[in-house]
Amino acid sequence: WGGLGHITTAFVASNFVANTTEAYLKQLLGSQDADYMAKVASWADSIRYTQWGRFTKNFHFIDAHDSPPEDCNIDFERDCKEGGCVITALANYTQQSVDPSLPAWRRAQAAKFVIHFVGDLHQPLHNEDVARGGNGIHVLWNGRDFNLHHVWDSSITEKWLGMRGRKPYPWAEKWSADLTKKINSGIYADEKDDWLADLDFSNPEETALAWSRECNKLVCQYVFPEGPKAIAGQELSGEYYEKAAPMLEKQVARAGYRMAAWLDKIVDQYL
């Protein structure tokens, strides 16, 4: 996700974490502000291109070598790169978050990675290999040239909110409040328990894989409904957007809700 997606998932999560989780994370992250999670949600992207952070660059996605639209699937052995992928990264940083032998600054860093990677795991094209997760496919958005990955990271959700300008923060706050309502008493209320059905804190890798598989299916249904070749050069801000946006909103809601539950488990285990 771009800034809007990450910040929104973190705000949603902060609305659902237990009081003890909130208190622990505020202390660990060194902020008593309402946006204690939101303000660290994009940190992992800011270090990807630094010399220090280069080792994390493959941690944001898993390259499913499947064949959309006929067949979408994740095969961990086949698809997780040797240097790691979002599945192993989420498992590793979850492990570090609860490791009492690590100093607080390392657990803080690990928590920031967890907050970010739960988000990325819910973006369909972060669970697909084709053209490097769509980065190599040119499409049109309001008549201008964009790559498909960017459209799914940012353009669709920004249009959904009517976002103007380059500052996602106020939009993310407003969106997260709306999503929180939808989860508590709106269109997602009946399914929110199902969103946690695959959550198994004794097996972080399997949990991440289950979420990844669910998200990867959306690649066949929504990202490449007629295959990767058919989409190249197409205008996506019309019909394609109309189908994608409600689904993508649900992915953001799911990510935030699951992030809260996962962080609760981390803090329960640590304390």
**Contact residues for ligand DCM, defined by CB under 6 A:** 29-31, 39-40, 43, 60-61, 63, 105, 108-109, 125-126, 132-133, 135, 149, 153
Residue 147, token pair as written in the block: 């790559």
Shortest Cβ 144–ligand DCM spacing (Å): 18
Of the residues 107, 116, 122, 258, only one is catalytic, namely 116
Whether 126 is a known active-site residue: answer yes
Q: Which is nearer to ligand DCM, 36 or 188 (CB)?
A: 36
132 binds, among Zn ion, ligand DCM, none (CB under 5 to 8 A by kind): ligand DCM
Whether 75 is a known active-site residue: answer no
135 binds, among ligand DCM, Zn ion, none (CB under 5 to 8 A by kind): ligand DCM
Shortest Cβ 7–Zn ion spacing (Å): 12
Whether 166 is a known active-site residue: answer no
158 binds, among ligand DCM, Zn ion, none (CB under 5 to 8 A by kind): none
91 binds, among ligand DCM, Zn ion, none (CB under 5 to 8 A by kind): none
31 binds, among Zn ion, ligand DCM, none (CB under 5 to 8 A by kind): ligand DCM
Of the candidates 264, 35, 43, the residue with the CA atom closest to the CA atom of residue 172: 35
**Is residue 149 a contact partner of residue 240, using CB atoms and an 8 Å limit?**
no
Shortest Cβ 188–ligand DCM spacing (Å): 25
Integer Cα distance of 160 and 173 in angstroms:
14
Residue 79 sits in the site that holds Zn ion (CB under 5 A)? no
- Residues 113-142 touching Zn ion, rule: CB under 5 A, are 120
Stretch of 12-20, 77-85, 112-120, 167-175 lying at the interface with Zn ion (CB under 5 A)? 112-120
Of the residues 63, 79, 129, 153, only one is catalytic, namely 153
Q: Which is nearer to ligand DCM, 29 or 114 (CB)?
A: 29
Which residues, 6+ apart, have CB-to-CB distance to 128 below 8 Å? 63, 64, 66, 68, 72, 134, 216, 219, 223
Whether 6 is a known active-site residue: answer yes
Of the residues 35, 45, 178, 268, only one is catalytic, namely 45
Of the candidates 132, 146, 130, 158, the residue with the CA atom closest to the CA atom of residue 224: 130
Rg (CA), the chain: 18
Of the residues 6, 107, 122, 258, only one is catalytic, namely 6
Which bin fits 131, alpha (ψ -120 to 50), beta or left (φ > 0)?
left
Integer Cα distance of 152 and 173 in angstroms:
20
Which spans of this chain sit near Zn ion (rule: CB under 5 A)? 45, 60, 120, 153
The residues annotated as belonging to the active site are 1, 6, 45, 48, 60, 116, 120, 126, 149, 153
